Amino acid sequence: MIKDLRQRAKKILSVLEKEYPYAHCELDFSNPLQLAVAAILSAQCTDKRVNMVTPALFKKYRTASDWADTPQEVLENEIRSTGFYRNKARSIRALCSELDERFNGEVPDDFDELVKLPGIGRKTANVLMVTVFNKPGIVVDTHVTRVSRRLALTKHSDPVKIEFAIQELYPEKKWGRVSHVMVFHGRYCCTARKPECNRCPVRRWCPSADKF
Ligand code: SF4
């Protein structure tokens, strides 16, 4: 059973890798700290909107202490357009203050340390592992949840269970690619409301094809 599922998962990945050879994190950043901040801003917001806001922020705030020392209201105003700006400003300041105190202002490249930091959940920790540290991780966002369930790679709806289920299907060295191509497939073909099953490259392995 798991063997069949792994074989189907392998075929799906091989097709998606060809379909999205340049799949990557679409948040703009140039170092781990910037990606951590952008990932916090991206909650309930599009990457496009975040990318409109971050250039001015990254120019102004260069170090973790720059972010940590800025007054809450100032940061709230600067990130207002990304939504949930009060919580996001609080998370960014708390994260950067802890990075400054415990990690000399650097973002640690260790998953277990990352998830202990304020504002960093498993999803963001995995984004950092895969995108800037070149380490294994499965990023389970709304796209990966939807695509993996439609493709019957998992029956779970809990993101942590999905993460572990996908880990079981692929070798560790593929986890980063799996994350990126599934996000791209969910964003550009297997969309939430109107999946484009008629042009989907993995429809022959998809039990949900044309069911929408
Ligand atoms: S066939 Fe349709 S539901 Fe299945 S993965 Fe492709 S777009 Fe999504």
| Residue-range definition of the domain harbouring residue 41 | 32-131
Contact 35, 114 (CB under 8 A): no
Residues 108 and 169 in one domain: no
| pLDDT at residue 212, rounded to an integer | 84
Is residue 71 one of the residues assigned to a domain? yes
Q: What is the CATH number of the domain that holds 10?
A: 1.10.1670.10
Q: What is the pLDDT of residue 142?
A: 95
Please tell me the residue having the least CA distance from ligand 1 atom 8: 190
The pLDDT of residue 26: 96
| The domain boundary residue, chosen from 131, 155, 178 | 131
pLDDT of amino acid 91? 98
Q: Is residue 167 part of a domain?
A: yes
Mean pLDDT, the chain cut into blocks of 10 residues (212 residues total): 92 98 97 98 96 98 98 98 98 98 98 97 97 96 97 97 98 97 98 96 96 86
Token pair in block for residue 190: 């297997």
Which pLDDT does position 3 carry in this prediction? Answer: 87
Among 190, 191, 196, name the best residue to mutate to test ligand 1's pocket (greatest count of ligand atoms within 8 A of Cβ): 190
Number of domains in the chain: 2
Q: Are residues 42 and 125 in the same domain?
A: yes
Q: Does residue 116 sit in the same domain as residue 102?
A: yes
Tell me whether residue 127 is in a domain.
Answer: yes
HSE on the CB side for 3, CA within 13 Å?
Answer: 0
pTM of this structure:
0.93
Residue 1: predicted pLDDT = 80
Does residue 212 sit within a domain? no
